[in-house]
Amino acid sequence: MVHNQTHDPKIALATKNLFANPCTFVAGVSSIDIIKQYPFPEVAFWGRSNVGKSSLMNAIIGSKIARTSNTPGRTQQLNFFNLGDKLMLVDMPGYGFANVPLKLKHEWEELISAYLNERDQLKRVFLLIDARHGFKKNDIEIMHFLDEIGCIYQILVTKADKISLAAHPKLKAAMEEELLNHPAARPEIILTSVERKQGIYELQQYIAML
């Protein structure tokens, strides 16, 4: 378990070696039928539209691999990124506020459900939650869905700089209490801020261990 970064030299070296690799866009997939099987483990990033998913992925990698936008719903497919032939990062379509046609939303739901149910190399879904809002109704619905299919996930809190430092322990405690109701959720919560670089290295270490 990583908590506020570990000083284990083996993990530190593994993290350095992994994230020293170039990360390249491989494919954008809108149908489960055309997803290729890659010989690398995968981690996926998911959350409400406009939660800061692309910005966090870019901060983890250290370059702009994922397209950021102020318009919710810009990620409209599963985007696969290859990190040095060692790990695949998957940028998933956001849920909640995307202003897209109902038909497209249904297509996203089918694609995401099939991916999460059938992807053997998927090691972790990182579920992103905005620090300013905490868990909202649609987040809880997604968590129950992941519980039902037995897909292991972990909470990443984004935009932690948007709330006071004094509010961090209270937010984390409330989230930890909610997670007790979700058997597929990992208990560790990582608070992140792209602006302050908070939690970025801790998350990199976690990914390296996976």
With respect to residue 171, please indicate whether it lies within any of the assigned structural domains.
Answer: yes
In angstroms, the CA 169 to CA 177 distance is 12
**Cα 38–chain centre separation:** 19
pLDDT tens, residue by residue, 27-60: 999 888 888 889 999 999 999 988 999 999 999 9
Residue 69 near residue 86 (C-beta atoms within 8 A):
no
Domain contains 163: yes
In a domain, 2, yes or no: no
Per-residue pLDDT for 4 more than 70?
no
Q: How many domains in the chain?
A: 1
From CA 59, how far away is CA 116, in angstroms rounded?
24
- Tell me the residue range of the domain where 57 lies: 9-209
CATH number of the domain enclosing 92: 3.40.50.300
Dist. CA 178–CA 33, nearest whole Å: 35
Between the two ends of the chain, the Cα-to-Cα distance in Å is 11
**Is 3 among the domain residues?**
no
pLDDT bucket at 156, cuts 50 / 70 / 90: very high
Residue 4, domain member (yes or no): no
